Amino acid sequence: MMNRFDDMPFFGDEPEPAPQRAVSGGSIAARAMAQRDAARAAPDYLDGLNPEQREAVETTEGPVLVLAGAGTGKTRVLTTRIAHILATGRAYPSQILAVTFTNKAAREMKERIGMLVGGAVEGMPWLGTFHSIGVKMLRRNAELVGLKSDFTILDTDDVIRLIKQILQAESVDDKRWPAKQFAAMIDGWKNKGLDPAQIPEGDARAFANGKGRELYIAYQNRLLTLNACDFGDLLLHPIRMFKKHPDVLKEYHERFRYILVDEYQDTNTAQYMWLRLLAQRSSPRSFSPREGGMPGRAEGGAPRRNASDLPPSVASGDISPSRGEINKVNICCVGDDDQSIYGWRGAEVDNILRFEKDFPGAKVIKLERNYRSTGHILGAAGHLIAHNEGRLGKTLFTERFDPEHDKVQVHAAWDSEEEARAVGEEIEQLQRAKHKLNDMAILVRASFQMREFEDRFVTLGLNYRVVGGPRFYERLEIRDAMAYFRLVCQPADDLAFERIINTPKRGLGDTSVRALHDYARARDIPMLAAAADMIETEELKAAARKSLFNVVTDFRRWQSLLENTPHTELAEQILDESGYTAMWQNDKSAEAPGRLENLKELVRSMEQFESLRSFLEHVALVMDAEKNEDMDAVNIMTLHSAKGLEFETVFLPGWEEGLFPHQRSLDEGGRSGLEEERRLAYVGLTRAKRRAHIWFVSNRRIHGLWQSTIPSRFLEELPLEHVEVSESQNSNYGGYGRNPYGQSRFDKQEPFQNTYSTPGWKRAQANRTDATRDNWGSRSGHQVERIGYGESGPRAKTIPGELVAKSTVDVPSQFSVGDRVFHLKFGNGNVSAVEGNKLTVDFDRAGQKRVLDGFVERA
């Protein structure tokens, strides 16, 4: 057997099994902590924990589910728990498996554990993301799944290029069946833990005239030939390995005494399977993922009420916790079902809803004491989320309720421009009151919303930062440079080869590359090797051969330098000698200097790694952007990327039907889609510590067309007692034709009205009933049921799926060129062109605009 753990440093350096509460052996830090523990009744790391948190920390044995609401000290519990396990000598650092989703979370956890236990955290090799731990396991035993231990990790971009090649090879029309789409399908299957043989027949047929399965197989084969993995494989290969080689799994079972999982509500089926295998101490029966559709995410859109209605899951069917031995597993999952917002990416809320069934005898601890937000914010968020049915049910509370705190403010604006302007004013107002911009965030549903705010802030000269977006390692020049490095380290990396063989231009165009490709495929050798061969043959033109000869000798030279040259030096050398640096130096375009700067930064960032190889590994998994937190700036980001963050003041624009909840979620996800949107709203609100401002507009431009919009149903789900509706005084919301550029409402000291009866609100309501009168029900065929709730608050109205008029071209317009029309926003004008139901109108005052005919009437 190749899985010899004894040559793994972290397996060999400590006695095994760990003695319970032993004070001898183990790391010095752990020993010191244990001694201190013995000396004192309650170690000081437990200070300041509330009773529930303390229980979550101290219940170390058996399965534990910590339901940690927003702002209830989740990370603190997780890190203190680990510190506690170490300090009491229950396990050595290397016997704890602690998994997170993001590198950021892993880093943060490591840091905070370090603060509690000092250097012992360095001995925790199994603290990391699902993927990085997966890689670690795979590198150890790669040959068991047909890989070599130096396999490459492909990112999304590589994967798409690879699939393109496969589609071409199989002569699939990649216009009709885009590679991107197939990459998404494969990703989806892998999220569910499905091998080609296990994908649902329907899925297999749905792509490329039924070739789905075949192509998936071809893709997997290609990956093996390339000695490469995609992200999904980093989990699936270990799962396969565990299933095929119980002895390997057993070693891990003996190794991990404690398993901790962060953000459990975000785990997908594959991650769940992986965890179950590792958590399963009794000898597992043969195990295969369930065939057919995915569990959980409602196929028919039927709402899932509670865990007991759930269909037999992947795991409970196949690796059931037999004979109660599962109880021995000390697994602790921390999560919040109300913050599950990644269902669309394969996350299974059911995993958390089902925990107690999966782990009989599990202890469930709820953390509901919130340390972040004011009572009003919690009240509003709690009332909103209570409209969801598929939840475990928590109610956050705070002990510092202060009637002086602001209620959640709901604002109406005429259009997105005014929305941005008003938010800008509010921010400046806060700024004048000495609030820091860093403490404010604008959280949008979709990134196109950001632009309006950016424009406005540029005009105002207000600092802002966009969080998320394109990352450093995704930039063109970085990916090119990385391809060079990859190819030097791994001559078989054909994807890297193809990426850079003609970058910079070397006269090796499509024809040469195709010839190389064919030659390589025919002989089953890497393209770089093929290139070396083809220098000798007559197949290519002399110029191309010469060029190829140079490239091949370059790579040979660089490879020979790999072991003995400092890697930063080698990297610079590669970039210079390949002509890549020169290429950008000669480039006259505006972005060229920036790209050169990025390349320098890339080399600089390599310094902290010991070799080119370890750097490559880091980049493949830890794609992190640099951030400038020293600047005081307003944060702009999507609601998704705001999860886990907190701000004094949060602005939540765009609460309109169709945008939020997003139409597509409604159409594609039905009821569960709506609930996920609602959780997103909940996440948004609970990011706020003191102030939350929600906005909705009555007109928004979508794809260049102005559309009338309706306030989000979520607004109606907010409780009156915690919400204040304040219409900006200068808003000409509903008041046609008034100058929107009036004085700021902050200049007037009129008190905001705090009921739902302001004229604007009423108009919004009227607007809503009009627009929703017909077309009941969404495309997916179900209606959204009435969501009733007792006590106070407005009655929830039922809002159907199709609220925003669709811009369907096939509906002929009732208008024709020359008609005189009236539009709410733009006034009177003449129709100058008609295209389906889209009109081009020359407005008397507003100029030429394109509008949907539903929004104009005959003048």
Partner DNA sequence: GACATTGCTATTTTT
Partner DNA sequence: TAGCAATGTC
Applying CB under 7 A, the residues found at the interface with DNA are: 101-104, 129, 131-132, 155-156, 175, 231, 344-345, 445-448, 468, 471, 502, 505, 507, 509, 621-624, 637-638, 640-641, 662, 664-665, 668-669, 673, 677, 703-704, 850
Shortest spacing between CB 102 and DNA, in angstroms: 3
- Give the bridge partners for 440, in sequence order: 649
- Give the bridge partners for 366, in sequence order: 67
Catalytic residue among 687, 689, 745, 825: 687
Catalytic residue among 60, 75, 220, 395: 75
Catalytic residue among 14, 203, 262, 419: 262
H helices of 290-415, in order, are 314-318, 349-353, 355-358, 375-385
Shortest spacing between CB 326 and DNA, in angstroms: 28
Answer whether 671's CB lies under 8 Å from 664's CB: no
181 carries an active-site annotation: no
Shortest spacing between CB 338 and DNA, in angstroms: 16
The span from the CA of 96 to the CA of 127, in Å, is: 8
* Residue corresponding to tokens 């550029």: 741
Instruction: Decide whether 627 or 703 has the Cβ nearer to DNA.
Output: 703
Shortest spacing between CB 620 and DNA, in angstroms: 8
Answer whether 400's CB lies under 8 Å from 691's CB: no
- Give the bridge partners for 821, in sequence order: 829, 858
Quick count: other Cβ atoms within 10 Å of Cβ 704?
Answer: 9
R_g (Cα) of the chain, nearest Å: 30
The SS3 of residue 462 is coil
Catalytic residue among 37, 203, 230, 263: 263
409 carries an active-site annotation: no
Strands (E), 280-343: 330-335
Residue 72 marked ligand-binding:
yes
The span from the CA of 367 to the CA of 77, in Å, is: 10
Shortest spacing between CB 132 and DNA, in angstroms: 6
The SS3 of residue 759 is helix
Instruction: Decide whether 507 or 777 has the Cβ nearer to DNA.
Output: 507
Instruction: Decide whether 669 or 684 has the Cβ nearer to DNA.
Output: 669
In 3D space, the residue among 320, 283, 372 whose CA is nearest the CA of residue 683 turns out to be: 372
Instruction: Decide whether 235 or 534 has the Cβ nearer to DNA.
Output: 235
Check residue 656 and report its DSSP letter.
B
Residue 393 marked ligand-binding:
no
783 carries an active-site annotation: no
Q: 670-673, long-range: CB within 8 Å, 24+ apart, which pairs?
A: 670/298, 670/300, 670/301, 670/778, 670/780, 670/782, 671/298, 671/301, 671/302, 671/303, 671/782, 671/784, 671/785, 672/297, 672/298, 672/301, 672/303, 672/304, 672/343, 672/390, 673/301
Shortest spacing between CB 281 and DNA, in angstroms: 27
Shortest spacing between CB 268 and DNA, in angstroms: 9
Structure token pair of residue 733: 């919301």
Catalytic residue among 53, 269, 339, 772: 339
In 3D space, the residue among 148, 151, 216, 161 whose CA is nearest the CA of residue 185 turns out to be: 216
Shortest spacing between CB 444 and DNA, in angstroms: 8
Containing 360, the helix (H) or strand (E) segment is none
Task: Please state the length of the chain.
Answer: 859
The span from the CA of 695 to the CA of 409, in Å, is: 8
Q: β-strands 856-858, 820-823: how paired?
A: antiparallel
Residue 70 marked ligand-binding:
yes
Instruction: Decide whether 472 or 822 has the Cβ nearer to DNA.
Output: 472
Instruction: Decide whether 257 or 825 has the Cβ nearer to DNA.
Output: 825
Q: Is the peptide bond before 238 cis (omega within 30 degrees of 0)?
A: no
Instruction: Decide whether 91 or 685 has the Cβ nearer to DNA.
Output: 685
The span from the CA of 661 to the CA of 787, in Å, is: 15
Give the angle subtended at the CA of 18 by the CAs of 13 and 19, to the nearest 5°.
Answer: 135
Q: β-strands 647-652, 820-823: how paired?
A: unpaired
Shortest spacing between CB 517 and DNA, in angstroms: 16
Residue 73 marked ligand-binding:
yes
Residue 69 marked ligand-binding:
yes
H helices of 229-374, in order, are 233-244, 246-255, 269-279, 314-318, 349-353, 355-358
The SS3 of residue 655 is coil
Residue 68 marked ligand-binding:
yes
Q: How far is CA 55 from CA 81, 279, 281, 365, 397, in A?
A: 10, 22, 24, 8, 18
Instruction: Decide whether 480 or 724 has the Cβ nearer to DNA.
Output: 480
74 carries an active-site annotation: yes
Structure token pair of residue 281: 């101490």
The span from the CA of 149 to the CA of 823, in Å, is: 66
Shortest spacing between CB 562 and DNA, in angstroms: 25
Shortest spacing between CB 310 and DNA, in angstroms: 23
Q: Burial, 6: exposed, middle or buried (Cβ in 10 Å; 0-12, 13-18, 19+)? A: exposed
79 carries an active-site annotation: no
Instruction: Decide whether 445 or 689 has the Cβ nearer to DNA.
Output: 445
Q: β-strands 330-335, 847-852: how paired?
A: unpaired
581 carries an active-site annotation: no
The SS3 of residue 380 is helix
Catalytic residue among 74, 211, 506, 700: 74
Residue-wise DSSP of 249-284: HHHHHHH-SEEEESSGGG-BHHHHHHHHHHH--SPP
Shortest spacing between CB 152 and DNA, in angstroms: 14
Q: Which residues sit in the known binding site?
A: 68-75
Q: Which residues sit in the known binding site for ATP?
A: 68-75
Residues involved in catalysis: 74-75, 262-263, 339, 687
